[in-house]
Amino acid sequence: MTFALILIAVLMLGSAAAAMLLRNLIHSALLLILSWAGVAMFYLWAGAEFVAFAQILVYVGAISMVVLFAVLLTRQNQVADMLIEPATRLRAISAFTVGACLAAVMASAILSSHFRPPAAAAPATDVKQIGLDLMQHHGAALLIVGVILTVALLGATVLAATEAKRNREDTP
Amino acid sequence: MTPLHLCLLISTGLFCIGLTGALARSNTILVLLGIELMLNAANLNFIAFWRFGPATSQANGMIFVLFAIAIAAAEAAVGLALIIAVYRHQKNIRLQETSHLKG
């Protein structure tokens, strides 16, 4: 049980760290998709199957495609990416310091806190109960999420489409 | 160390990797993906507390995570559309060189 968790964690954290370290953007995007798949595996390990498949559908299926399209649409010459300016290196070092310090603080806080012993078995949830919960207790939130997704879709389309028209007007 | 401690440590690691990436990288897409990693770390915490926490009732943790995934999807779509719009305008998505947004 714990061994499987450690294996999943190594996959998840390793691919995420490699994605943030690599200089090739496509490799980074593919490794991040692997990391999201690792998160879905963690959900499966924890017994939250519905969330795991939602994660696979949304992240591994949809967001990964959007990210890959954005990477390919905004591709530029690789030479500029290979240059490492001193300011960039300084920023990377300070960012790494901030991340390491935050990790140390949070890890010490977690290790020094005592939680009550967990329940013996995983809470029994089937898809029917999740659906009833969503529709009955969280119906308003579900509607609002639908509105947010619609507005985000419209906004994304407007943002990505109107700029081209303005550019065409700008260039005589 | 209980499994809950281990899960929280793993999600801390994921959060800090995302934070470091978002702060260190100069490519806007990777900054956005770092923020997505931090959101995923928060979702890991929800599931960990739902599974191993003291009050394991109902499907509350899972529903929290479902809503968070929906919001993250909307955020990613709008963010990447913004990146494409900025790229069309300036032919560049490095953060240092897109320092002015007007005009």
pLDDT tens column, B26-54: 888 999 999 999 999 999 999 988 888 76
Q: B1 contacts in A (CB within 8 Å)?
A: 111
pLDDT tens column, A103-112: 999 999 999 9
Please list, in sequence order, all residues whose beta carbon lies within 8 angstroms of the beta carbon of residue A160, skipping any fewer than 6 positions away. B81, B84, B85
Cβ–Cβ under 8 Å, residues B41 and B14: yes
Cβ–Cβ under 8 Å, residues A31 and A15: yes
Sign, CA torsion A147/A150/A156/A158:
negative
Q: Is A86 exposed, middle or buried (0-12, 13-18, 19+ CB in 10 A)?
A: exposed
Looking at chain B, which residue has its C-alpha nearest residue A114? B5
Q: A66 contacts in B (CB within 8 Å)?
A: 76-77, 80
- Residue A35: CA atoms inside 13 Å, Cβ hemisphere, count? 32
ipTM: 0.90
**pLDDT > 80? residue A132:** yes
With CA atoms as reference, report the closest residue to A69 among B37, B93, B29.
B29
- pLDDT of res. A16: 93
- Other beta carbons within 10 Å of A148: 16
Section B94-101 average pLDDT: 72
Contact B62/A130, CB-based, under 8 Å? yes
pLDDT tens column, B52-95: 876 655 778 888 899 999 999 999 999 999 888 888 877 777 77
Cβ–Cβ under 8 Å, residues A20 and B30: yes
- pLDDT of res. A120: 62
Question: How far apart are the CA of A13 and the nearest CA of chain B, in angstroms?
Answer: 6
Compute chain A's Rg from CA coordinates: 22
Domain-wise residue ranges, chain B: 3-90
**pLDDT > 50? residue B12:** yes
Contact A167/B88, CB-based, under 8 Å? yes
- pLDDT of res. B95: 76
**Confidence class of residue A172 from pLDDT cuts 50, 70 and 90?**
very low
Section A98-127 average pLDDT: 83
- pLDDT of res. A88: 77
CA–CA dist A150, A152 (Å, integer): 5
Question: How far apart are the CA of B62 and the nearest CA of chain A, in angstroms?
Answer: 6
Section A78-101 average pLDDT: 77
- pLDDT of res. A169: 52
Cβ–Cβ under 8 Å, residues B86 and B28: yes
Q: What is the CATH number of domain B3-90?
A: 1.10.287.3510
Looking at chain A, which residue has its C-alpha nearest residue B56? A123
